[in-house]
């Protein structure tokens, strides 16, 4: 039963960290997305190579991928939290059953 409690605590801690993993990335992601609209750093070279459209599209795709990854992290965190709660419930049920057998 102690193993379940330890596992539950570990899952809960991991779930919390997983759910907050994207927090520090919100502002940099926003800045990155905003930069895709201003590709002036490429200057004439970018326009000569017609690369700005492709770069903008690539940056937009990267932004969407990172947002999807953030959603996945949050979903994984929620699943870990749910499993931790189930382990807590199983632990309590086992304690109750052991108490009934002894008493």
Q: Considering only residues 44 and 4, tell me which one the structure prediction assigns the higher pLDDT.
A: 4
Query: Does residue 9 contact residue 63 with C-beta atoms inside 8 Å?
Result: no
To which H or E segment does residue 88 belong?
helix 52-102
Domain boundaries, the chain: 2-98
Query: Does residue 67 contact residue 29 with C-beta atoms inside 8 Å?
Result: yes
Label residue 32 by pLDDT band (50, 70, 90): confident
Residue 37 phi, psi (nearest 5): -90, -10
CA dihedral over 30, 31, 34, 39, signed as positive or negative: negative
Q: Quick one: pLDDT at residue 43?
A: 63
Q: Quick one: pLDDT at residue 79?
A: 92
Instruction: Please write down the long-range contacts of 75-78, taking CB distance under 8 Å and 24 or more positions apart.
Output: 76/18, 77/14, 77/15, 77/16, 77/17, 77/18, 77/19, 77/21, 78/15, 78/19
């Amino acid at each position: 039963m102690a193993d379940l409690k330890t596992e539950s605590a570990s899952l809960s801690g991991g779930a919390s960290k997983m759910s907050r993993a994207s927090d520090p990335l919100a502002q940099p992601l926003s800045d990155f997305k905003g930069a895709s609209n201003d590709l002036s750093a490429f200057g004439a070279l970018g326009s000569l190579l017609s690369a700005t459209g492709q770069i903008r599209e690539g940056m937009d795709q990267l932004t969407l991928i990172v947002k999807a990854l953030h959603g996945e992290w949050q979903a994984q965190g929620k699943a870990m939290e749910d499993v931790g709660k189930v382990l807590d419930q199983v632990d309590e049920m086992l304690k109750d059953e052991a108490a009934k057998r002894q008493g």
